[in-house]
Copies of this chain bind each other. A is one copy, B any other.
């Protein structure tokens, strides 16, 4: 192997470790991205760090602190381009320069318009050797929400649905409890915990008395990750165009929530939860506008847990980035409720999806499917 090829293998190796560290922030970094950093000198890891929470030090700072004087002349591996701007913490590019690091390898450029290459530029200007693009695909997969928000001004929207093998979510009567088993419910708890926002509709809250909270004992995580997840629960957002859900609903009693509505708030929720007024026709909240507003608040990932009507509206409007379908080994039959309210007349109108993963979750199965081209009907 040539020296350059060897260096590429080593770079990938240390970047993989930095990605592993970044994943520890799975439940807590939002609105910031998940980032990990490894500092290597003479073939030895001398410092590691990961970003825990917005407002706290970035991954690079943790790693530099751990390395101390050993950072001088070392290589820093970072899963995202070091920042060049003063946010709630000073720029990491400066910290790397001050520590005397000789080389910086980033997995990807930061699409944040306040950075966007300027972090690496700053480093290069200080005489530090810079590279970007090592394990970039993995690094992008780590932060789908942050990237989508920076690149498109929208959060990443994940729709979770629990269905039977024949594609039904509830009986005609609405009866729907326990379609899937405990392992699937635990997986859903983790999906909630990783999201910035868990979003539902008035139908679900009224029919199922849903609270959509994260419950520590159902997460199925170790003590440290559970504590992290519980320290930063997602914001629960209720889409309720006409303010049909009463203030004494379990949903509101379970903690802070945001209500997205078309109505003037004073009418009903004067002393109630925070309300976000969103335009809409016929008392139906404009979902695209809502997502834009959430992104503006720093929301990276939205988990939609709603009935066929609201989930169907997100799907019909091409607003879904990923479906997570939990499939139970049963038939609910031909009179049961559909997966999504989305009537289609012609086969050519049927939206295509790429199934990216199918995996057993307890006695159930999880299908991850991604729209091939966003439908815009």
Task: Render A163-184 as a binary contact track against B, CB cut-off 8 A, 1 for contact.
Answer: 1111110011101111000000
Q: In the complex the two chains form, is B352's CB within 8 Å of A329's CB?
A: yes
Q: In the complex the two chains form, is B312's CB within 8 Å of A350's CB?
A: no
**Taking A312-B334, A340-B333 as contacts, is the C-beta distance between A346 and B171 under 8 angstroms?**
yes
Point out the residues of chain B lying under 8 angstroms from A333, CB to CB.
Answer: 338, 340, 342-344, 349-350
Q: Is A369 in the interface zone, CB < 8 Å from B?
A: yes
Point out the residues of chain B lying under 8 angstroms from A346, CB to CB.
Answer: 171, 173, 175
Q: Which of B327, B334, B343, B352 is close to A338, meaning CB atoms less than 8 Å apart?
A: B334
Q: In the complex the two chains form, is B342's CB within 8 Å of A334's CB?
A: yes
| Interface footprint category on A | 35 or more
Measured CB to CB, the closest approach of chain B to A343, in angstroms, equals: 4
Measured CB to CB, the closest approach of chain B to A340, in angstroms, equals: 6
Which residue of B is nearest A167, CB measured? Answer: B167
Q: How far is the CA of A62 from the CA of B369 in the complex (A)?
A: 50
Measured CB to CB, the closest approach of chain B to A144, in angstroms, equals: 19
Which residue of B is nearest A343, CB measured? Answer: B335
Which residue of B is nearest A358, CB measured? Answer: B358
Point out the residues of chain B lying under 8 angstroms from A336, CB to CB.
Answer: 344
Q: In the complex the two chains form, is B340's CB within 8 Å of A355's CB?
A: no
Q: In the complex the two chains form, is A175's CB within 8 Å of B347's CB?
A: yes
Q: Which of B172, B327, B350, B360 is close to A331, meaning CB atoms less than 8 Å apart?
A: B350
Measured CB to CB, the closest approach of chain B to A163, in angstroms, equals: 7
User: DSSP majority for the A interface?
Assistant: loop
Q: How many monomers of this chain does the complex have? A: 2
Q: Which of B312, B331, B358 is close to A342, meaning CB atoms less than 8 Å apart?
A: B331
Q: How far is the CA of A341 from the CA of B167 in the complex (A)?
A: 13
**Taking A308-B334, A329-B353, A331-B339 as contacts, is the C-beta distance between A347 and B171 under 8 angstroms?**
yes
Which residue of B is nearest A359, CB measured? Answer: B358
Q: In the complex the two chains form, is B312's CB within 8 Å of A329's CB?
A: no
Point out the residues of chain B lying under 8 angstroms from A91, CB to CB.
Answer: none
Point out the residues of chain B lying under 8 angstroms from A351, CB to CB.
Answer: 330-331
Point out the residues of chain B lying under 8 angstroms from A38, CB to CB.
Answer: none
**A163-B166, A330-B353, A333-B338 known; 10 other A-B pairs, CB under 8 Å?**
A165-B367, A166-B339, A166-B340, A171-B350, A173-B345, A331-B339, A333-B343, A333-B344, A334-B339, A335-B343
CB pairs A–B below 8 angstroms (15 shown): A166-B340, A171-B344, A171-B347, A173-B346, A329-B372, A332-B344, A333-B340, A333-B350, A334-B338, A334-B340, A335-B343, A354-B363, A355-B365, A358-B358, A358-B360
Q: Which residues of A contact B (CB under 8 A)?
A: 163-168, 171-173, 175-178, 308, 312, 315, 323, 325, 327, 329-336, 338-347, 349-355, 358, 360, 363, 365, 367, 369, 372
